[in-house]
Amino acid sequence: MNISAFFKSIADADTAPIVICDTDHIIIYMNPSAVDRYAKMGGAGLLGKSLLDCHSGESNDRIKAVVRWFEESSENNRVFTFHNDIENKDVYMIALRSESGELIGYYEKHEYRTPETAEPYKNIR
């Protein structure tokens, strides 16, 4: 069994954009939602490029500060970055760690606050 295929499948099925970066800020993975969301900025063409090239100087300073904070302790794993009123979502930076606790990267997590309006299990028979 290839456990990494399960994790990729989870990320690919998520409707929120997921962009995973290594500790050098290089984009190493984008789920389909992220590719679509960032299409005007290059979409899948952003893979292998620096996330820092996609942000302003002030944002880059904050991203770098968060990564330094992640590196300070294996307990530092999640930080709230902002609330987007238009999409009613909170956005976080999340540390990614090896089994030994070493920081290996990070990603931005979107948590939508708008309640679901679909009927539960509507299309399941």
Dihedral sign, CA of 90, 114, 21, 94?
positive
pLDDT score for 55: 87
Model-level pTM?
0.88
Q: Is residue 50 part of a domain?
A: yes
- Number of structural domains, the chain? 1
pLDDT score for 103: 98
Q: Is residue 59 part of a domain?
A: yes
pLDDT at position 68 over 80 = yes
Q: Is residue 87 part of a domain?
A: yes
Q: Is residue 32 part of a domain?
A: yes
Q: Is residue 64 part of a domain?
A: yes
Q: Is residue 122 part of a domain?
A: no
Q: 80: which strand partners?
A: 92
Q: Is residue 90 part of a domain?
A: yes
CATH number at 76 reads 3.30.450.20
pLDDT score for 1: 72
Distance CA 97, CA 47 (A): 20
Q: Is residue 119 part of a domain?
A: no
Instruction: Give exposure, 15-53, as e/b (b: 16+ Cβ within 10 Å).
Output: ebbbbbbeeebebebbbebbbebbeeeeeeebeeeebbe
Q: Identify the domain containing residue 67 by its residue range.
A: 3-112
Residue 3 pLDDT grade (very low, low, confident, very high; cuts 50, 70, 90): confident
Residue 40 pLDDT grade (very low, low, confident, very high; cuts 50, 70, 90): very high
